[in-house]
């Protein structure tokens, strides 16, 4: 580069300000491992929530607590009034039951979902969910949350046809009777049993 070219270059670059270099922070191997572990746990939590199949509203989404004496009452269209009346009166024996009243809402959500799924798999039609009423103030506060969650969650499960707070002899408003839809497998079994006793129809009478 000639002297003239060098002088011209210096003049052209005279107002250019050098870029500031970002200050480097030394990261320890312990911190890297902790951050990596946290990222893995967060990713796993997202994957689990997407693929565990649990459709119930998650904890923290403002499910309304319900008073311990509030009566739960729900029936889907198509459920016969006589069937619902028998359910309310506790005339269907509970073939399975689950007690939620000492659980957190987060644990209760998972346990209730798994319980209902298992009942359907086993062909159980009538079940009971105990959410509690609470004797102390702390227990009442937790029970009111679990009761509100139970009322909300059971409505979200299409296999639940109806539910109603229990009779006093079965726990009163601290428990709820649940009527479940018959599983497709159970329907098929019933059809097979029914058809075994049928005589094939002969249109010509032969």
Question: Would residue 11 count as lying in a domain?
Answer: no
Compute the mean pLDDT over every residue in the chain, rounded to the nearest whole number: 78
pLDDT in tens, 165-180: 999 999 999 999 999 9
Range of the domain at 103: 73-190
Percent of the chain with pLDDT over 70: 61
Q: Return d(Cα 47, Cα 50) in angstroms, integer.
A: 5
Over residues 2-25, the mean pLDDT reads 52
Per-residue pLDDT, 68 = 87
Checking if the pLDDT of 18 tops 80, the result is no
pLDDT in tens, 120-167: 999 999 999 999 987 667 777 778 899 999 999 999 999 999 999 999
Domain count, the chain: 1
CATH number of the domain at 167, please: 3.30.1370.110
The whole-model pTM stands at 0.66
Question: Would residue 24 count as lying in a domain?
Answer: no
Per-residue pLDDT, 182 = 84
Question: Would residue 200 count as lying in a domain?
Answer: no
Question: Would residue 185 count as lying in a domain?
Answer: yes
Q: Find how far residue 119's CA is from the centre of its chain.
A: 15
Question: Would residue 181 count as lying in a domain?
Answer: yes
Question: Would residue 175 count as lying in a domain?
Answer: yes
Question: Would residue 10 count as lying in a domain?
Answer: no
Question: Would residue 37 count as lying in a domain?
Answer: no
Structure tokens at 82: 């006589």
């Amino acid at each position: 580069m000639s002297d003239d070219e060098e002088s011209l270059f210096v003049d052209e670059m005279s107002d250019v300000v050098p870029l500031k270099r970002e200050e480097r922070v030394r990261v320890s191997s312990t911190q890297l491992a902790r951050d990596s572990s946290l990222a893995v746990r967060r990713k796993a939590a997202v994957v689990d929530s997407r693929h565990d199949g649990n459709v119930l509203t998650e904890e923290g989404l403002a499910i309304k607590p319900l008073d311990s004496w509030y009566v739960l009452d729900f029936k889907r269209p198509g459920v016969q009034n006589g069937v619902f009346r028998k359910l309310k009166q506790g005339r269907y024996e509970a073939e399975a039951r689950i007690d939620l009243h000492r659980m957190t809402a987060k644990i209760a959500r998972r346990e209730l979902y798994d319980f209902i799924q298992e009942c359907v798999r086993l062909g159980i039609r009538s079940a009971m969910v105990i959410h509690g009423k609470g004797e102390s103030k702390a227990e009442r506060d937790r029970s009111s949350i679990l009761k509100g969650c139970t009322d909300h969650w059971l409505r979200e499960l299409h296999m639940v046809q109806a539910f109603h707070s229990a009779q006093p002899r079965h726990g009163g408003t601290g428990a709820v009777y649940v009527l479940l839809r018959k599983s497709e497998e159970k329907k098929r079994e019933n059809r097979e049993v029914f058809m075994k006793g049928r005589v094939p129809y002969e249109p010509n009478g032969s």
